[in-house]
Chain A
Amino acid sequence: MVDPALVLKGQTIAYTCYCIVILLVMGWFALKITRGTSGVVKPGLFYTFVGFLIVLGVSLHIITYNTIPWSPVDLHRGNYTPDKTFEISIAKHEFRLPSEKLLVDCNDLVLFDVTTEDLTYGFGLFREDNSMLFQMQVVPGHRNDILWKFNSPGTYTIRSTEYSGPAGIHMVVKNAVEVRGCN
């Protein structure tokens, strides 16, 4: 599975380039409208712009669905059989893990099945440098499950990714997941 860090890098580059372009365009526009003579903007340009926006808006999701590997897995997770399942519960701002350390073999497809007994929480895995691997919401009275394929070694911290009152900021289990066996 493509590492989320790579996806974020791609997104950062794309958005940064866009920001630079739009800043330059607006700067240029601000200069130009104080000079020159009045003119008419051709409707053709307008309709081309609208067409571009439609293509962009629709294609973004088609592209991500076909290039971000966890997107189809997430939407059709009932069709997959996990190699390993971890059932985790949360109550009173505390994660209850099935074991002290959750061990994962490299390339395993892992199901995290998380339930909450009281409030709405979040469930996220974070790398040692605090960057995020993935997250989901944990809602009471509903099934909250996520499938993830681990294909690189590492140790991950579990953190609640949703606000659940001031006590929620301490919902961190350091180095709770360990992935091993990768070459």
Chain B
Amino acid sequence: MSFTETLLNGEEGLFKPKTLTPMQKLTLRFVVVGLVYYLFVIIEGMIMRLYEISPLPFVSEKQFFAILTAHPLVGIFGSTYSIVCGAFLFLVPFLMKKPLWSFRLANWTFLLIAIGTFVFWSAGFISHYAPLYTLYWPLPADFSQFAPLGGAFFILGIALIMLGTVFFVINVFKTIAYTPEGWEKQPSGALIASALGVSGAENLFRRKKKEHLVSLPVAAIARGTVDMALNSAVILFTGVLILVYMVAALLGHSLKDTAIDALLYKNWFWWGLDLIADGLVLIFVAGTWYLLATMITGRKLFMQNIARAALLLELVVSWTVWSHHLLADQAQPAFLKVISGEFVTAFELITQGLAFFITLATLWAARPLKMTNPLKFLLGGLLGFALAVPAGIMQADVGLNRILHNTQWVVGPHVHVAVLVGLTMTLYAAIYILFPILTNGAKLYSQKLANVHFWCHLIGGIGMGAFMGMAGLQGMLRRTLYLDGEFKTFMILAGLSGALLLIAFLSFFCNIVMSVGIKGVIGIFTRSELDRGTLLPEAKG
């Protein structure tokens, strides 16, 4: 096939959108939108990287901070939530061998996340609403710096996403528990108890152990989804609170911002936000590692009962770690700093370390393995968390936090390495392994491009984290600008690493487009003629 033919019809013309079921199409739509928003994140990241080297004439300081506000939110919600929700709405029925409870609700999740992200992103872009994702009270209601109308649209966008995630939560639990039409009655309560780990915990006290009704990956998805539900409630409540102040300002009334206690707000906010960073991300990632390891090796997971118990422990830990974000707050009670901030947080080293070891042991037991794209990206993801989690544990220490808090160390070796290398490479591994399943056997266009994608992403992600970390150790703060070029060398090196990430993504993007063709990409967004209850063309459910 000529280059043009491949560009139009995909590699060897193997991808045929007409053969896709509605669920396959919906999952692919989630992935496409997630990747487009990932491109937003990379471009925004590069603009900020260049601005940190030398202010750009076409970007004002206000615009810079609006980008800084939108950047992580587009990354978390627009990109990661899209890909994760799409993948799990496909995987839960796939692994449970029954149809999704509601295709319509899944479609709403897709639309609300895609539209909500665009709404808050545009509100930030146009109005420069920039209280950062931390929203430290009373900054989001500081209308001497931000316009209430822009802010109201920003919060509305976030609220739409939260509504989409609520629909996702309902769909996941309903799919686990419901009885499809014409099926024998399913034990709903027992299925939910198994998914949440209640029956597993009861097994500890039983002589005759009960069998687990749901597979380990489904249990991981269910437990991470609990954190997603709690997080949505916290963010929605916070959004409504901020909206009240904005609407009042728009109507010409100024509400007293001291009515809200800033420290209590901070505790509430971090409790909710940590359900993502230290909750569902770690649980979903561990579950995805287990699924990938079993799919790659075709074997049972090493120590699977302990893995299952560790997921439950991780869920409980995620409810009690938030105080590590408040170690620099002197009014925060010392016992919360020590118990929640230090010691419970240290449990993440244990739970994530367990997941790391179990995944590696499962792979090891199946030697020799072919170094496929899913395997190499899985190893990259494991490496990312192996680098980022200890960095996080170090900063979650009363003594070290005094000299690390809000420096580039926090956002470099911890956040960016965890997200870019750990999380994103795990997601790429999942995309590479699900690609033939979701496309009914489409072939990857170029292995060379996949290799460029892997190495540029790995080196770029670790490099960016490392150079930001070095700057942080020398005192460079995050969330600010240095206008006299104080840390220029580190920022140039971090910028070059960012360029590698951009190259990596473009390689991946071109590879996928060439694999499915432009007609194929368009075909994903057309209506499927097949039955909604069919997951894959070959088999019902």
A binding-site residues for B, Cβ under 8 Å = 4, 7-8, 11-12, 15, 18-19, 22-23, 26, 29-30, 32-41, 43, 46, 49-50, 53-54, 56-58, 60-61, 64-65, 68, 70-71, 74-76, 118-120, 122, 124, 126-127, 129-137, 139-146, 159, 161-169
Chain A residues lying within 8 Å of B397, measured Cβ to Cβ, are: 60-61, 64
Q: Are B399 and A70 in contact (CB under 8 A)?
A: yes
In the complex, A58→B139 CA distance in Å?
Answer: 36
In the complex, A126→B474 CA distance in Å?
Answer: 10
Chain B residues lying within 8 Å of A40, measured Cβ to Cβ, are: 365
In the complex, A23→B347 CA distance in Å?
Answer: 23
Chain B residues lying within 8 Å of A76, measured Cβ to Cβ, are: 334
Which of B159-167, B186-194, B350-358 lines the interface with chain A?
A: B350-358
Asked if A57 meets B365 with Cβ closer than 8 Å, knowing A7-B400, A130-B474, A165-B130, the reply is no
Q: Are B65 and A166 in contact (CB under 8 A)?
A: yes
Chain A residues lying within 8 Å of B483, measured Cβ to Cβ, are: 169
The verdict on B370 contacting chain A, using a C-beta distance below 8 Å, is: yes
Number of A-B residue pairs having CB atoms within 8 Å of each other in the complex: 227
Q: Are B399 and A68 in contact (CB under 8 A)?
A: yes
The verdict on B371 contacting chain A, using a C-beta distance below 8 Å, is: yes
Q: Are B354 and A50 in contact (CB under 8 A)?
A: yes
Pick the contact of B350: A50, A119, A159 (CB < 8 A).
Answer: A50
The verdict on B447 contacting chain A, using a C-beta distance below 8 Å, is: no
In the complex, A40→B403 CA distance in Å?
Answer: 44
What would 6 more interface pairs be, CB under 8 Å, given A146-B330, A166-B145?
A4-B403, A41-B361, A57-B347, A119-B142, A137-B330, A169-B480
> Which positions 288-338 of chain B face chain A at CB distance < 8 Å?
302-303, 306, 326, 328-331, 334, 337-338
Chain B residues lying within 8 Å of A15, measured Cβ to Cβ, are: 390-391, 394, 413
Q: Is the interface of B mostly helix, strand, loop or mixed?
A: helix
The verdict on B258 contacting chain A, using a C-beta distance below 8 Å, is: yes
Chain A residues lying within 8 Å of B132, measured Cβ to Cβ, are: 163
Q: Are A136 and B480 in contact (CB under 8 A)?
A: no
The verdict on B376 contacting chain A, using a C-beta distance below 8 Å, is: yes
Q: For A35, A53, A58, A122, which residue has the most chain B Cβ atoms within 10 angstroms? A: A53
Chain A residues lying within 8 Å of B453, measured Cβ to Cβ, are: none
B binding-site residues for A, Cβ under 8 Å = 61-62, 64-65, 130-132, 134, 136-139, 142, 145-146, 258, 261-263, 266, 302-303, 306, 326, 328-331, 334, 337-338, 342-343, 346-347, 349-350, 353-354, 357-358, 360-361, 363-371, 375-376, 379, 382-383, 386-387, 390-391, 393-394, 397-400, 402-403, 405-407, 413, 473-477, 479-481, 483, 486-487
Q: Are B379 and A130 in contact (CB under 8 A)?
A: no
In the complex, A144→B328 CA distance in Å?
Answer: 10
Q: Are B477 and A38 in contact (CB under 8 A)?
A: no
Chain A residues lying within 8 Å of B263, measured Cβ to Cβ, are: 139, 141-142
Q: Are A161 and B405 in contact (CB under 8 A)?
A: yes
Q: Which B residue's beta carbon lies closest to that of A59?
A: B346
In the complex, A37→B367 CA distance in Å?
Answer: 5
23 chain-A/chain-B pairs, Cβ below 8 angstroms: A7-B400, A18-B390, A29-B379, A32-B367, A34-B367, A34-B370, A37-B368, A46-B358, A50-B357, A57-B350, A60-B394, A61-B397, A70-B399, A122-B406, A126-B475, A130-B475, A134-B402, A137-B330, A139-B329, A140-B262, A142-B262, A144-B329, A166-B62
